[in-house]
Structure 1
């Protein structure tokens, strides 16, 4: 394993390393306004949810690594502490990328990117019509993390109201994750696409308590067939089946195929012979 001392990296190298390693990251498309009514739109991938009650999201318009300047989004929020945050689907990603261009102060990136404004209900910045979900937020706190290029500025926001485009709802009027087709940021120019064919479910071990990896039979634990994912699934049962367990690799391969279909009980039944 290669070890990297961050003191040996310059700002650009450090930024590249962290943005590549910490990925994929959701994108906040932030709509803001200054005291004179000038509107700004810009995407940020230093973004996530940090609390549901109260509903808190945080994003960070960092100081530019290149020249240590601040971004219009931050300057606007310092004047008008409100923001609309939209998420980003695949069919708008090129327009969102265009909105990240460093236009002069006072230029409306909605216009430059061809995105559509709509009046919000509770805050001054406009909604982004093309975003599947818009969140109207008031800014609770701005927390600078440093004064050098690359330093973040945490924009701590309370979500006041959420708007969802109806085509992204399921029959129960809930957000359908398979329809959202959200994109995310990685390192460099790379993006990720969260489409229906890339999604998968992993049951949470909340209602039950799995036996754990350490309780797996040696024949299973030391198999040259099973991966860490396979063993994690096998260890997430409440009680180990009674009896003997096979060390035959042929059976392990058949059980592995069952695990690929999330048929954990059937896999154990095959191994418990």
Structure 2
């Protein structure tokens, strides 16, 4: 069985986050050469041999879900990180069907256009596959850009306008990296995704640094703060909804707190 580099690097990064004290292991062996837990310490917590855990980390065994969940508990993984671990340990071959992952169904277009507040659909590689008029007013008119530039990660990291528009650019940018890292685990054979990661790694020191941290996240809900050049600062809440019939398209819908300054700003934006 060939080595699983993605699994190995993810588990190494997660081991490096923890200290023996955090997991209840006495650290009486003096200074450590590297940060975090050793493999033998993780093996001890998981109750497997060091040899087995080493082969597991290298992707040279097919661990059961029970063992993987025990590894997740030992490394204090979040729900998203546990799901990522399961995906990396048992990778599925990606469904590569040309541009199908980057196209919006006409019915979904109707839904987008019917939503009054900002809404858009992200697909594979964080491609922006569809926006409504309100989203184009709040962010930028992605529909008017070349197809290659309709990408949330490229916009956030390579377009200076994104740093002006997002009041918390670093948080948004890190979330982008974590989203791409999760997709890389789900779709390991997607060349377009690999090329995007290589491009951003070469172009952005921040992207390269955060990519090496192996953080993963699945966006479900949250808040973002924008600074719009016409209506000023706006704080929005968003909810994410999987698009039916796809395994990688997500609809994001924005809203503002009724009666708030952000709500008033949004009303001015939508006039």
Q: Shorter-chain-normalised TM-score: which range?
A: under 0.3
Task: Give the strand-richer structure, 1 or 2.
Answer: 1
Instruction: State the TM-score, normalized to the length of structure 1.
Output: 0.26
Task: Give the helix-richer structure, 1 or 2.
Answer: 2
